[in-house]
Amino acid sequence: MPDAIRHINLSHVVLPIDNPVSDAKVLTGKQKPLSEMVMLFVEVLTEDGFRGMGFSYSKRAGGPAQFRHLKEIAEVAIGQDPSDIAKIYDTLLWAGASVGRSGVATQAIAALDVALWDLKARRAGLPLAKLLGAHRDSCRVYNTSGGFLQASVDEIKDKSTASLEAGIGAIKIKVGQPDWRLDLKRVAAIREHLGDVPLMVDANQQWDRARAKRMCRELEQFDLVWIEEPLDAWDAVGHAQLSTTFDTPIATGEMLTSVSEHMALVNAGYQGIVQPDAPRIGGITPFLRFATLANHAGLALAPHFAMEIHLHLAAAYPTEPWVEHFEWLSPLFEEQPEIRDGRMWVPDRPGLGFSLTPKMRQLTRESASVGRP
């Protein structure tokens, strides 16, 4: 008899950020500073006693909606064979079809999808990267959390130095301020401080096409690894045009919430770096679908956030990727990724290789249980 999903536990977790951060969306008045992460954790138990853990997240809004949507539809997964992840995914999509196949709907499903992949790898006794078929045991890693716009140049210099001393190999800073001259001054100062250390910048969608062209031209002098989200995330044509105009690569994709939204970039002729986010695109299942298509199109990969998941997915990508380091979620996991020599190393523990802390339980605002414990 095949195994079957017996129990699913959902946890709505609110994790404060000790020092709230601001990117360009805050300075242009579109959003408030980010002061907390809202997480949806899913824990799965099967009849044969196998377990898996997954998560998705939201920033500023949407966390309670993710929790409630999955709470409403999760029952359709009970009794299904946990190995049939794609089938379960489709079942969940149809259960909530009236609210669509992107956005909150698939971000809610993502947490369960990740848990099932974690379970499958744990049952095989393999790290997820090995289950998928790893191309490498480590990935290049860069830090973003120290480069937000509320920080002074001196603060960013100090945080960058600390990151490099901790073994991280590259630094990303935020740009996109209302006064573009300040952006150039900050980038110049950090480039001088870092020397030839790889440096990226992120405009968080705050330029129109004309300003983006001017800024990309000005930024060419700094030998950047990439310029991230210079345009609105859904401007596939604009990003494609920039990617074929400038020597500095263009990166985008983190805000997109379905495979079809990502494929709009490919279909527009985009030749930059893609940044799918497994919790946002809908889970590991759709992430892998897009990754296959992205590789076929010859695109480089740099998944956004969620390093605990993306380390494995990046390790399984055919060409050399980047993984983004954020320490924000560290209080929620007992284990921390190994970082040295500018790279993040795939753990040898089964599954994702991470387990939840008592702190995660303390920060749980609401939980729900489906099936038999």
pLDDT digits (tens, 9 = 90+) for 247-303: 999 999 999 999 999 999 999 999 999 999 999 999 999 999 999 999 999 999 999
Q: Name the catalytic one among 157, 304, 312, 325.
A: 304
Spatial distance between the Cα atoms of 314 and 336, rounded to a whole number of angstroms: 17
> 185 Cβ partners below 8 Å, 6+ apart?
153
The strand pair at 227-228 and 250-252 is best described as parallel
Q: What is the pLDDT of residue 249?
A: 98
What is the chain's Cα-based Rg?
20
Among 59, 78, 61, 71, residue whose Cα is nearest residue 111: 71
| 8 Å CB contact between 304 and 281 | no
Q: Known binder of ligand: residue 308?
A: no
Look at the domain 5-125+358-371 and name its fold. Answer: Enolase-like; domain 1 (3.30.390)
Residue 99 confidence (pLDDT)? 81
Pick the CATH number of 129-345 from 3.30.360.10, 3.40.50.920, 3.20.20.120, 3.40.50.10420: 3.20.20.120
State the Cα–Cα distance between residues 146 and 156, nearest whole angstrom.
Answer: 6
CA atoms of 320 and 91, how far apart (whole Å)? 34
CA distance 28 to 24: 6
Q: Is 69 a known active-site residue? A: no
202 is in an annotated binding site: yes
Query: How far is 161 from 151, CA to CA, in rounded Å?
Result: 14
Annotated catalytic residue 310? no
Model confidence at 95, pLDDT cuts 50, 70, 90, reads confident
Tens of pLDDT, residues 143-152 = 998 889 999 9
pLDDT class of 103 with cuts at 50, 70, 90: confident
pLDDT for 101 beyond 90: no
pLDDT at residue number 335: 96
| Domain coordinates in residue numbering, the chain | 5-125+358-371, 129-345
Tell me if 220 is assigned to a ligand binding site.
Answer: no
340 is in an annotated binding site: no
Q: Model's pTM, two decimal places?
A: 0.95
The per-residue pLDDT for 55 is 97
What does the block give as tokens for 262?
């990502």
Task: Give the pLDDT band (50/70/90) at residue 21.
Answer: confident
Q: What's the whole-number mean pLDDT along residues 107-120?
A: 97
What SS3 state is found at 17? strand
| DSSP H helical ranges for 36-152 | 63-73, 85-95, 104-124, 128-132
Residues 325 and 159: their CA atoms lie apart, in Å, by: 13
Among 281, 268, 314, which residue's Cα sits nearest to residue 295? 314
In the sheet where 364-371 sits, what is the strand order? 51-59, 34-46, 5-21, 364-371
Q: Which of 120, 130, 174, 312 is catalytic?
A: 174
Contact 368, 75 (CB under 8 A): no
Was 204 annotated as part of a binding site?
yes
